[in-house]
Structure 1
């Protein structure tokens, strides 16, 4: 007796939701995620909820790496003079830029002061942790009797700080625009459209960075059955982010299993456990994984980790 092939209605689909910053064109981005997660292009078995075009006029060139993945040249270029500021000055500049952009997009005047209930606490924690990590490597090597310190990024110290501050700056600006700049509904609509027309087979949703927030809010609203929700490098455990969610933290009712993975050095995650706040806790597995990209937030490194990839791959076999 032979196994009966699965009908199209039974085949699983994975829907990706990308994170912060500009990206390459959507078809290429989907293929890159497919290759990292499955080792091959998945064709119509995967979809990308591509929202970068709502915030960035043109995609990145095909062969340019995402500047948010780190790198001394792109970091120094994008951060510019802010990289030399002390943490509090950097925070003020980043807040000012986020407020101005939010005001432009919403059609309102930028606020004159920062409300206490915004994301400023998270921003402050990110900045100080970024500077701490940037200082946590010996450029000259340990002296006699000293233990080698963690080499956080394989870059000279000024470039490490620039790379980490770039991640902080652009993360905060995109998250701020999502919650305060009027971009949230349109970004969520992109994911809703990607979920439309699926054939009813097992559904996997993978959200990275801010994409995990988008995935969470859409699934909580739609209550759609999801066999597996995967979040990587997610800020959903951050109190300031939870305070801005449309609904109190809880596992979306349709999500059967939720795996949340982060690297301890990932500034965007910052808090790494969802289970204490998102009930029922038995549906969530929090995982600490290794992401050895230059800023420990890179999506390819997360998707290629076996603790992330193997549960997804099993549903497609």
Structure 2
């Protein structure tokens, strides 16, 4: 008997599938897990192009991603206010350029206007992605009716934007009198953190919005369903070992919707940095919040500073509560959302290993 684990990645551009699976394996097991691990690789549905092998995933919060975020913010600042009409949310990242003391676009902007403007930009980019070639989803890319009066997910977007600014300000180094911390102990300077947090906000909100309203949801769910079916079939051929499903960020939503609609026996469902506890997301789910029918146990882990997981507790809404465990862990990535840091945390890693080591 051989156990199986299925990874469901989150939003944003991703490296090629084999490299991404190996990165998750190393974070969780310290080595390549071989055919024990499977990756539900749905990134090409939204973005046909993969990241170069040497590029940093912008949602991992690594130094390379920080540099990319700062460079993008500088480019948007140089482009001037005229770029806002086309790119919406991206122009809001210009405040993160070096030397910015106060964000040029604080979170005091009306949330309905901000949400509608960002939704329109997301829909425009979705349309451009679909026109780039096949395999990028189907359906209308237009913003949903009524978006101008308050787009769905608007409250979540506003909360993420406000928290991004608050975190960037709160984590700015403030040494006490006569105390100078070692440079290695200092967090990123506020302009860099602001740029990084805004990149996280933009990618996460835009992809979640596109998933629900851009017509790509069915295609994304099909990729995940196929990966789960392949892993379950392989497990059954090997005599039937445990099955673990791990979903990160938007991937946790996709994995949840697939598991909720199919009676797939899963020994442990793990969600990391998940927005599933957010009311605006719950309102868009195809089924009422509950533990998926075939899932024995559900472990939900998040960092209190993770912008995507603004609400950290699934247990109150996803019954029965005795099968759900919520954990607050420390994610050391620069944006507190990186999946590798979540997987490496002992509170996450050890329960997964215990289930995979069990041969029932």
Asked if TM exceeds 0.5, the reply is yes
2:37 matched residue in structure 1: 46
Contact 1:91/1:127 (CA < 8 Å) preserved in 2?
Answer: no
- RMSD (Å), alpha carbons: 2.3
- Give matches, 1:187-202, under 5 Å: 187-197=220-230, 198=233, 199-200=235-236, 201=240, 202=242
1:100 matched residue in structure 2: 124
Q: Which deviations, in whole Å up to 9, do the C-alpha atoms of 1:119-157 show, x marking residues without a partner?
A: 00000000001100010034453358x9x9xx9982111
Q: Which deviations, in whole Å up to 9, do the C-alpha atoms of 1:268-292 show, x marking residues without a partner?
A: 0110000000000000000000001
- Give matches, 1:76-155, under 5 Å: 76-79=70-73, 80-81=76-77, 82-83=92-93, 84=95, 85-87=105-107, 88=109, 91=114, 93-102=117-126, 105=130, 106-110=139-143, 113-114=147-148, 116=150, 118-139=152-173, 141-143=175-177, 154-155=187-188
Q: Is there any run of 5+ residues in structure 1 with no aligned partner, and where?
A: 1-9
Q: Report the CA distance shift for 1:277/1:109 in structure 2 as closer, same or farther (over 3 A).
A: closer
Match of 2:327 among 287, 295, 307: 287
1:164 matched residue in structure 2: 197
Q: Which deviations, in whole Å up to 9, do the C-alpha atoms of 1:216-256 show, x marking residues without a partner?
A: 00000012110000000000000000000000000001100
CA distance in 2, matches of 1:140, 1:232: 31
CA distance in 1, matches of 2:43, 2:295: 26
Cα distance, 1:67 vs. partner?
A: 1.4
Q: Report the CA distance shift for 1:56/1:275 in structure 2 as closer, same or farther (over 3 A).
A: same
SS of aligned partner of 2:296: coil
Q: Is there any run of 5+ residues in structure 2 with no aligned partner, and where?
A: 78-91, 96-104, 131-138
2:84 matched residue in structure 1: none
2:272 matched residue in structure 1: 232
Contact 2:123/2:141 (CA < 8 Å) preserved in 1?
Answer: no
Q: Report the CA distance shift for 1:163/1:256 in structure 2 as closer, same or farther (over 3 A).
A: same
Contact 1:224/1:255 (CA < 8 Å) preserved in 2?
Answer: yes
Contact 2:120/2:142 (CA < 8 Å) preserved in 1?
Answer: no
SS of aligned partner of 1:21: coil
Q: Report the CA distance shift for 1:24/1:138 in structure 2 as closer, same or farther (over 3 A).
A: closer
Q: Which deviations, in whole Å up to 9, do the C-alpha atoms of 1:148-181 show, x marking residues without a partner?
A: 9xx9982111111111011001100000010000
Q: Which deviations, in whole Å up to 9, do the C-alpha atoms of 1:28-53 show, x marking residues without a partner?
A: 11011011111111111110000111
SS of aligned partner of 1:249: coil
Q: Does residue 57 of structure 1 match 2:48?
A: yes
CA distance in 2, matches of 1:304, 1:98: 32
Match of 2:310 among 267, 270, 277: 270
TM-score, normalization: structure 2? 0.79
SS of aligned partner of 1:313: helix
SS of aligned partner of 2:59: helix
Report how many aligned residue pairs link the two structures: 304
Cα distance, 1:73 vs. partner?
A: 1.4
Q: Which deviations, in whole Å up to 9, do the C-alpha atoms of 1:71-90 show, x marking residues without a partner?
A: 43111233433222233289
Cα distance, 1:117 vs. partner?
A: 6.1
Q: Which deviations, in whole Å up to 9, do the C-alpha atoms of 1:280-316 show, x marking residues without a partner?
A: 0000000000001000000000000011111111233
CA distance in 2, matches of 1:65, 1:117: 31
Q: Report the CA distance shift for 1:208/1:99 in structure 2 as closer, same or farther (over 3 A).
A: same
1:178 matched residue in structure 2: 211
